[in-house]
Amino acid sequence: MKHLKNLKIQLAVALVCVTAAFVVTSLLLHDEPDEFTAELAMESDAMAIVNYYYPRPIRLHDSPLEANLKLPEFQTHPLFGALVLGTGPDSLISIILDQGGGQDPGSLYVDRNNNEDLTDDDEAAWDEVQKKSKIKEVLVDVTYGSDGTAQVAPYPVIFYSFPGRTPVALAAYRNGYRTGAIILQDTSYKVAVFDDELTGRFDDLSKGSMVIDVNLDGVLDGKSGSDEHFALTGDFSLNGQIYRVKSVSVAGDEIVVSETDTIASPRVALTADLQAPAFAARDTEGGMIDLASYSDKVVLIDFWATWCKPWTVELESLKRGYTKYNKRGFEIIGINLDYDLDEMKVYLAKHGIAWPQVADGNGWDTPLVELYGVDAIPRSYLVDRNGVVRYKNLRGRVLEAKIYELLNEAAAE
């Protein structure tokens, strides 16, 4: 995603006072030998480290959600929304979508400095305008704490709009994260902490994630399937020692990590030649999908959502493979991460998707996401008739070729 140079400059300027007080690589060791603290600073371009995001829908209304706003002049009928970020006395950030029309892409106004004046913020034009979407990155001032002790931190947020989509025409996701270094076992590791659900706060560990430079190559790798990506609520292993995150400050500028008494092998990701984790779950028709009952099948376990564009691009290929090989013993189990099940079912019918779907309307909180360690979609696992994961994240003709391979292999056994 292309980022504006002036946004980077703004972020660098805004962080001068932060980096003056907090040296990113400085570390504080608690009196207790099994706890370690690192100070973290805000950085931009989270999507360069992780390749997933959880879209936060922004409901739009015909009138402002805050009183006494100073408004700009609009080209068309405006729609009003807001984001709640941080913990300050006024954590509501007003947003206005001026929809435009014809060749006019419209504008997006964000009360970036949260002063109830939407005429003194950055340029309201979209950064990128495409046929089916519009994208804008904004550096929002997020406040933590009350008056007198309040801390303000810049927070990069990406907004995007899909013209014509209802009831949600606007959404946002985090593009900022906190980063620094922490010393564990006399070794300094780069670390990054993410507020995945865009609340503007980092202290709720259930809503965040972490990337650690486990292999010490100087690169934080939070891409799909990486062994450097961890949930903040889970344990992680470095050189046989297990650690867990004890706490992250609300503003994300401090993380405390503690040792556990457990000694274990390094984390192993779900890759080829490992047994697919067993599960049984209700499908959208009320039936039961039990992976064990597919023991004589070649199965694609496919994590997806209607809003995931890379998955929709591959849909016709999936349908082609299913039609071609289903009678020979190939099955697909869809694991859907939508929140609106009615809209999802309409999508299934519209696109003629015939294979069963596990969907509970809880999105990323679906238990199978944790069971399979899914941190981005689309994500798929091709499982042979012995229940072993043979391939991961195949697409198009390559997927078809491997389905054919496994069907022939199974028939020869």
For the stretch 242-280, pLDDT in tens is: 888 999 999 999 999 998 875 444 444 555 568 888 888
- Asked if 111 contacts 95 with a C-beta cutoff of 8 angstroms, the reply is yes
Report the 10 Å Cβ neighbour count for 4: 15
pLDDT band at 156 (very low <50, low <70, confident <90, very high): very high
- Asked if 65 contacts 82 with a C-beta cutoff of 8 angstroms, the reply is yes
Tokens of 79: 């729609």
Sign for the CA dihedral angle at 212, 215, 221, 223 comes to: negative
Report the 10 Å Cβ neighbour count for 408: 10
12 pLDDT higher than 50 = no
Averaged pLDDT for residues 303-320: 88
Sheet with 107-110, strands from edge to edge, namely 78-84, 92-98, 107-110
pLDDT of amino acid 270? 59
344 pLDDT higher than 80 = yes
Length of the chain counted residue by residue: 413
For the chain, give the mean pLDDT.
83
Helices (H), 284-392: 309-325, 341-351, 367-371
User: What does the DSSP 8-state code read for residue 273?
Assistant: T
Domain 280-412 belongs in CATH node 3.40.50.300: no
Count Cβ neighbours within 10 Å for each residue of 241-270 and write b for 16 or more, e otherwise: eebbbebbbbbbbbbbbebeeeeeeebeeb
Averaged pLDDT for residues 122-132: 86
Query: Can you tell me the distance from the alpha carbon of 361 to that of 142, in angstroms, rounded to the nearest whole number?
Result: 30
pLDDT of amino acid 323? 94
Query: Can you tell me the distance from the alpha carbon of 106 to that of 164, in angstroms, rounded to the nearest whole number?
Result: 13
| 191 vs 90: which has the higher pLDDT | 191
Quick one: which of 83, 82, 80, 77 has its CA closest to 61?
A: 80
- Asked if 193 contacts 232 with a C-beta cutoff of 8 angstroms, the reply is yes
118 pLDDT higher than 70 = yes
Span of 5-9, 83-87, 111-115, 382-386 with lowest mean pLDDT: 5-9
24 pLDDT higher than 60 = no
Averaged pLDDT for residues 38-62: 90
- Asked if 134 contacts 1 with a C-beta cutoff of 8 angstroms, the reply is no
Query: Can you tell me the distance from the alpha carbon of 137 to that of 130, in angstroms, rounded to the nearest whole number?
Result: 15
Reported as a single tens digit per residue, the pLDDT across 213-239 is 998 999 999 876 677 888 888 778 787
Query: Can you tell me the distance from the alpha carbon of 204 to that of 67, in angstroms, rounded to the nearest whole number?
Result: 30
How do the domains of the chain map onto residue ranges? 1-266, 280-412
5 pLDDT higher than 80 = no
Span of 171-185, 227-241, 332-346 with lowest mean pLDDT: 227-241
18 pLDDT higher than 60 = no
User: Is the whole-model pTM more than 0.75?
Assistant: no
Contacts of residue 152, Cβ cutoff 8 Å, sequence gap at least 6? 141, 142, 143, 144
pLDDT band at 25 (very low <50, low <70, confident <90, very high): very low
SS3 198: coil
Sign for the CA dihedral angle at 43, 223, 291, 333 comes to: positive
Tell me the chain's radius of gyration from C-alpha atoms.
23
pLDDT of amino acid 373? 80
pLDDT band at 207 (very low <50, low <70, confident <90, very high): confident
